[in-house]
Amino acid sequence: MFWGFTFFSAIWLTIGTLAVNIKQRTRTAERLPATPKIYALQLNQSALSYAKELIKEGHVVADGRGAWRRHQPSPEEENEFIRLYGFSEYAKWHLGIDDAHAENTKARYKFPYGDFKNVHRCALIAAKSRAGQYKHYNIENAALELDEVISMSRERLKNLDRDRAGGICVTLFVARTYQ
């Protein structure tokens, strides 16, 4: 009789523990969000406007894909720039702001578009593809927009040259250039 009771109690306890475990596991699952949170970067509007100004003023290198690795400032150059001009100027050269990092840290500013002198098309191309890869569509669109501003200003310059040269001269020049 005694052993029977002990056996019964043991089984009962085991069932009880299992039930608690299942309950806890369910609660943990409920606490997790249904979809993982998408890591968001803020678009740095003042950097975008500043880059447009730079392009308008002709501070632009209209180069191609793959050159950014050679053209981007080294960490030492970045530090020197910050030492001379501060983080507010450093921020103006970056299209993305990462709120996860404090204001006066380099990690807060992402997606550079130039080398502190000129806007580089190579940097925009690199930013565009990296931003797209990480679904930072606001940054991707900004890089695309700047690339278009570069193309437009080049087109405008070409037209200006054509207007200045005028008439037959231009026709001859164009014919010779595009042969």
Residues found near Zn ion in the complex (CB under 5 A): 63, 67, 71, 120, 122
User: Can you tell me the distance from the alpha carbon of 56 to that of 145, in angstroms, rounded to the nearest whole number?
Assistant: 14
Q: What is the smallest separation between the CB atom of 68 and Zn ion, expressed in angstroms?
A: 6
User: Can you tell me the distance from the alpha carbon of 95 to that of 142, in angstroms, rounded to the nearest whole number?
Assistant: 8
Cβ proximity to Zn ion: between 78 and 98 the closer is 78
Cβ proximity to Zn ion: between 25 and 117 the closer is 117
Cβ proximity to Zn ion: between 71 and 162 the closer is 71
Q: What is the smallest separation between the CB atom of 124 and Zn ion, expressed in angstroms?
A: 9
Residue bearing tokens 């606001």: 138
Let me know: does 118 contact 53? Beta carbons within 8 Å. no
Q: What is the smallest separation between the CB atom of 116 and Zn ion, expressed in angstroms?
A: 13
Let me know: does 34 contact 131? Beta carbons within 8 Å. no
